[in-house]
Chains A and B, each alone.
Chain A
């Protein structure tokens, strides 16, 4: 069986969880096994029901101990259920949570880890995956030595599945020990600004030093992102200058995004930044310096002043004119 660990937020499945269900369904068909969804949390029956529209079978651990996401509790719950099924593959999203929990599950199961993969296929009696390396400048193929294996899947790679199932939801009990509860979660702070999770956004509007200051984000980036339902991103220079929070930084030392559309406004395109966004499907660059490296990494470019072009672009999008 395949165990699919679906993440959720505010009582709803995350987009990456649906993509994961799709990835799991595809692989389950190839391996001719059943895909089983897993929901971990507290008060998460609705999420489990939602997941059952995409998968034939869903297990849910609804426990106050899971109210906060903690690597220790998640590792224990996933490992025990994986053993119980038994799962040949454990699927996680390559979100911060999935990247944190996946390696622990792999070590505890004594299983190989295929991390942050962009494609996956059956290879003999095991799995082979494609993933990125060297700051996303290299694609590599990696084979898991044996099954079971733990796989984390990069967001925005798999399509969303059709809600074609009426699966069953079964409760599961995990008894957490003292060790699972040793970490205490304190205050949580949501990022200011973009309400869309950056790694999952299908459109990202990104700003560089060419915006001239924090007000450039307020007057140019935020309205455009709001209109497109886009995530907001920034370059390192912008974050270093204190115009935007670190959570929005894309690049080597920040997040990696691969949306359908990446709009780079006043971004010069240093290699460190490109490594965080060069998997985007379509890239648009607007910059006054026609020789900026970003244009080489762009599908469409406009050479000119962002302060003049972006308001026009926002207006054109709002009107839906072409």
Chain B
């Protein structure tokens, strides 16, 4: 059974997200990008409308939306601004390990709080000296009676320091590599937790990215997700899922690039005709369209696997890699269609390119994704 149609309700959700992107996010995106400031009003508004932390289940006071719902929303929001979408996406990334590894009490305590209060979550895995090689992490977790004590530094953490809850991955037995990792929930304002906002990013400048420093941060053992040693597995299972919204966001950026390029090509004249009439331009636009449609299909497929409880590691790796690559190309070509105007910030296309570069890097670089995909081939 194959069915690509959205339910009436999903269409409603999509039109809400589309309207929000068009009327609230897009008009302000350039300002937050220029100022490198956090769009607090927009995220608060998103929370009011129910667009934040949509994956929290009904049992914890959330909406319990499916992954398909989430990618439908993600594509629309990223059309407005990938950087602003990353804030919401990163919160979902922080929620997911609690969903996967947390017990009922933790669901209620952490997720219930988020769904009632509208706060953000964060996910802290990367470190200054390691990203893709997550098992080489240096942040220490030491068990001390009923507490866990954290020491170390996490890097590139979206919502880092401003999130209500941060899921931190740390090692209590470095020699055990991935088997020695624990996932633990740290609440905002914990003693010994500090953060440094990272300025000067190329793109996604509305998203707050920070270095998180843990200096003897003490949290109760009741905040450990699953058992000590489950941490790495929880992190990987989380990323298998949350790469799919990255793919959805990429499709949104690519769609915006095509919209901008198409409208510019229709307006801009050269040699007595709109530049749309030149095949050289048409081929670029057609290639963007091909990329968008195929990337969306793969994204929806990966989301459908998640919702169906089927294995999705490979499908989500393909979706994330492919969608972010076609989106980068689409933004690049859209910039080119704009000629010199594409190279200045008065038009939104330069920002699309700066923003979407990150989609090829974060939540597992596209190289790591290709390794994952190739690993599946070798085992066959």
A296-B341 Cα distance, complex, nearest whole Å: 19
Q: Which residues of chain A from 281 to 304 have any CB-CB distance to chain B below 8 Å in the complex?
A: 291, 293, 296
Closest to A295 in B: B267
B264 contacts chain A at the CB level, 8 A cutoff = yes
A293-B341 Cα distance, complex, nearest whole Å: 16
B11 contacts chain A at the CB level, 8 A cutoff = no
Interface residues of chain B: helix, strand, loop or mixed (majority): helix
Residues of A contacting B264 with CB < 8 Å? 291
Closest to B338 in A: A291
A291-B268 Cα distance, complex, nearest whole Å: 7
Residues of B contacting A291 with CB < 8 Å? 264, 267-268, 341
Closest to A296 in B: B267
- Most chain A CB atoms below 10 A, which of B264, B267, B268, B341: B267
Interface residues of chain A: helix, strand, loop or mixed (majority): helix
What bracket does the count of chain B residues touching chain A fall in? under 10
Closest to A291 in B: B267
Residues of B contacting A296 with CB < 8 Å? 267
Closest to B263 in A: A293
Residues of A contacting B268 with CB < 8 Å? 291
Closest to B274 in A: A296
C-beta contact mask, A267-291 vs B, less than 8 Å → 1, else 0?
0000000000000000000000001
Q: Which residues of chain B from 306 to 344 have any CB-CB distance to chain A below 8 Å in the complex?
A: 341
A293-B264 Cα distance, complex, nearest whole Å: 10
Minimum CB–CB distance from B174 to chain A (whole Å) comes to 58
Closest to A289 in B: B346
C-beta contact mask, A46-58 vs B, less than 8 Å → 1, else 0?
0000000000000
Q: Which residues of chain B from 245 to 265 have any CB-CB distance to chain A below 8 Å in the complex?
A: 264
Minimum CB–CB distance from A290 to chain B (whole Å) comes to 9
C-beta contact mask, B260-294 vs A, less than 8 Å → 1, else 0?
00001001100000000000000000000000000
Residues of A contacting B341 with CB < 8 Å? 291
Minimum CB–CB distance from A304 to chain B (whole Å) comes to 17
A296-B268 Cα distance, complex, nearest whole Å: 10
Minimum CB–CB distance from A296 to chain B (whole Å) comes to 7
A54-B268 Cα distance, complex, nearest whole Å: 51
Minimum CB–CB distance from B334 to chain A (whole Å) comes to 15
Closest to B341 in A: A291
Q: Which residues of chain A from 60 to 117 have any CB-CB distance to chain B below 8 Å in the complex?
A: none
Q: Which residues of chain A from 245 to 265 have any CB-CB distance to chain B below 8 Å in the complex?
A: none
Residues of A contacting B267 with CB < 8 Å? 291, 293, 296
A293-B267 Cα distance, complex, nearest whole Å: 7
A251-B124 Cα distance, complex, nearest whole Å: 50
A293-B266 Cα distance, complex, nearest whole Å: 10
6 intermolecular pairs with C-beta atoms under 8 Å apart: A291-B264, A291-B267, A291-B268, A291-B341, A293-B267, A296-B267
Q: 6 closest Cβ contacts across the A-B interface?
A: A291-B267, A291-B268, A293-B267, A296-B267, A291-B264, A291-B341
Which B residues lie at the A interface, using CB under 8 A? 264, 267-268, 341
